[in-house]
Chains A and B, each alone.
Chain A
């Protein structure tokens, strides 16, 4: 019975009684966001090897070189997507759990006591998510232009592996943007009555489609982040001469 008593005492002193691998999700998110975030920061700092012929890395799109900006333009270009991702309802869950441990997992103790949620600066700015959505949606225009360019070779229309990589990057970014919770609210979520007017009825149809996309928002958030990173890696390796593009058509 002494062994039982020891087990009872130790279970009473732990921060959680959970026995499953609750730490796996926050650790995976921290590693995933950390590795991809560090790579993208490094890529943004390079200010080179971001274009190969008709392929442009999404990290440097739109391609601008403002004279008043002293460092790599990618740090300017990435501000809207960064604003969109940091205020995103999915990423908030991800980084509050993985980096702030607020909480690290459900029913697991937190290491700190001070908590103000999103009612004080800086986290009250999360309420500006809809404005970051407007910017991210506007940015898609540039990225789809890059897709168009990626299929336009000197010899005319063509398909290279790079064309598909850039298409995948922009396609998944579009899905991620269109599955946004704020967008879901704007297209129809704010309405109380979907059947009251003709416009509300059509908005209900759009709201249903966005809701369907929104159910996969987390998936799109990760896939698009991987796809953007993969597109930059591919274009960078081409520009550095490490690999050669595969022409499919």
Chain B
């Protein structure tokens, strides 16, 4: 059995510091196991949010050695244990205590998205190929790692007028649904700030559900926004045909 040193953030909204803890490492352990062992042996007041320990509830998001990840999905044998393992709370949201952050902002953003709105008098029937895309988006576990790593939020603090990758995925899931009757491109452009996204794909890199956020949600939505708001040829065609954009 080997021993590893963990540097775990301890503190609250006023500030804090990394505290060193020694943990006996056993085969198959993940970072969340080590945090639980620290809680059990050294720091019973260490605050950590977790639930399923199976990478399905999205609760235990943290930054392990600087990488946004789920603690329950980060194996210790994948980390260099000859150096201290640094565990910090996700950086883009205010710390409540220790590894627990306040992600309330995300739920406020979610409220701005008009929900699934079915077409009136349409046959309530569709085929598998119509919802393959939507089903990928439904895998989201709302761990908010994509929101945390998105540099628009993380580095530039743009929370007003920007929704973040998680909510572009949510919009894509209703916008591309064959039965949905709303057009949300104006919302995406003006209120959700999809133009702030510069396609650097960090959201896709950190997604524990392997959702191709950038290629399958954000870029297709950007193209829909171009259709309705930036494409001059389509604009002229709409003017000539008398059709409205959205």
Q: What is the interface of chain A, defined by CB distance below 8 A to chain B?
A: 1, 4, 7-8, 11-12, 16-20, 89, 92-93, 96-97, 102-103, 106-107, 109-110, 113, 115-119, 123-124, 127-130, 181-182, 184-185, 189-190, 192-196, 204, 214-215
Task: Say what secondary structure dominates the interface of chain B.
Answer: mixed
Partner of B7, one of A7, A93, A119: A7
Contact with A along B197-238 (1 / 0, CB 8 A): 111111001100000000100011011111100110000000
Whether, in the assembled complex, B63 has its beta carbon less than 8 Å from a beta carbon of chain A, the answer is yes
A247 to B65 Cα, complex, angstroms: 56
Are A96 and B198 within 8 A (Cβ)? yes
Q: How large is the interface on B (under 10, 10 to 19, 20 to 34, 35 or more residues)?
A: 35 or more
A143 to B224 Cα, complex, angstroms: 31
Are B198 and A17 within 8 A (Cβ)? no
Taking A4-B5, A193-B126 as contacts, is the C-beta distance between A119 and B195 under 8 angstroms?
A: yes
Contact with A along B53-66 (1 / 0, CB 8 A): 00000000001011
Are A192 and B178 within 8 A (Cβ)? yes
Are A107 and B68 within 8 A (Cβ)? yes
Are A194 and B215 within 8 A (Cβ)? no
A94 to chain B: closest residue by CB: B200
Are A194 and B129 within 8 A (Cβ)? yes
With a CB–CB cut-off of 8 A, which chain A residues contact B63?
17, 107
A103 to B66 Cα, complex, angstroms: 15
B205 to chain A: closest residue by CB: A106
* Min C-beta distance of B66 to chain A, whole Å: 3
A205 to chain B: closest residue by CB: B129
Whether, in the assembled complex, B193 has its beta carbon less than 8 Å from a beta carbon of chain A, the answer is yes
Whether, in the assembled complex, B180 has its beta carbon less than 8 Å from a beta carbon of chain A, the answer is yes
A109 to chain B: closest residue by CB: B155
Are B196 and A17 within 8 A (Cβ)? no
With a CB–CB cut-off of 8 A, which chain A residues contact B223?
130, 181-182, 185, 189-190
With a CB–CB cut-off of 8 A, which chain B residues contact A115?
152, 155-156, 158, 196
Are B219 and A11 within 8 A (Cβ)? no
Are B18 and A89 within 8 A (Cβ)? no
Whether, in the assembled complex, B170 has its beta carbon less than 8 Å from a beta carbon of chain A, the answer is no
A41 to B130 Cα, complex, angstroms: 46
Whether, in the assembled complex, B177 has its beta carbon less than 8 Å from a beta carbon of chain A, the answer is yes
Whether, in the assembled complex, B242 has its beta carbon less than 8 Å from a beta carbon of chain A, the answer is no
Are A124 and B224 within 8 A (Cβ)? no
Taking A117-B152, A181-B215, A195-B127 as contacts, is the C-beta distance between A17 and B88 under 8 angstroms?
A: yes
